[in-house]
Amino acid sequence: QVFGDSQGNIVHLFERDCSAQRRHQKVMEEAPAPGLSSEIRYALANMAVKAAAAVGYRNAGTVEFIADASGRLSADRIYFMEMNTRLQVEHPVTEMITGMDLVEQQIRIARGERLAFTQDDLVINGHAIELRVNAEDTLNDFLPSTGTLTKYLRPTGEGVRVDDGYEEGMDIPVYYDPMIAKLIVHGRDRTEAIQKMKAAIRDYRIEGVA
């Protein structure tokens, strides 16, 4: 995750691991990336910032890399794939580990404001995981499931966040992506984040669609 302002300042907000995908669509994201050494993290972040600086980038953006993990993971086996010139669905995990509101920062940059923080101000705090909650029929090749949300109860608790646009009684239509919500948790470390995610999944109540 990078940010660049109109004054030429560019920072990174660390990495996210988006390896868990189905049909080239991300289904789980987490930060920081598990198993990534500080040396590789620095190398990736440095490449991302250099790429953004080379084009005078001004906005929120995500520089994506793909890793050859068939052997030992190293910086010279990680390759640039593309840059998404926007915030992405998984940006909340970065917000959780940095304490930064990325939507607010993007708006401030669009207004011509200078970044209110420097790279030295940014540190990784704990671990965050995001799951996409999709209206899909797992017994029918994960095809989208439509209908009325007859019951919709969100999980709550410390370090649990739900980003959604639905309420109980609303319809899941055929016109859009089947994602109902993003379920995000934050813990002191990855083990605690996984435990919180399991509890949050148990507490989620969705009826009326698969």
Residues designated as active site: 86
* CA 201 to chain CA mean position, Å: 18
Distance CA 45, CA 16 (A): 11
86-124 CB burial, b ≥16 within 10 A, e <16: ebbebbbbbbbbbebebeebbebbeeeeebeeeeeebee
Q: What is the DSSP string of 189-201?
A: SHHHHHHHHHHHH
In Å, what is the CA distance from 49 to each residue of 2, 23, 70? 7, 29, 27
The token pair that represents 95 in the structure block: 């917000």
Q: Which residue has the tokens 């109860």?
A: 153
Q: Which residues pair with 133 in a beta bridge?
A: 181
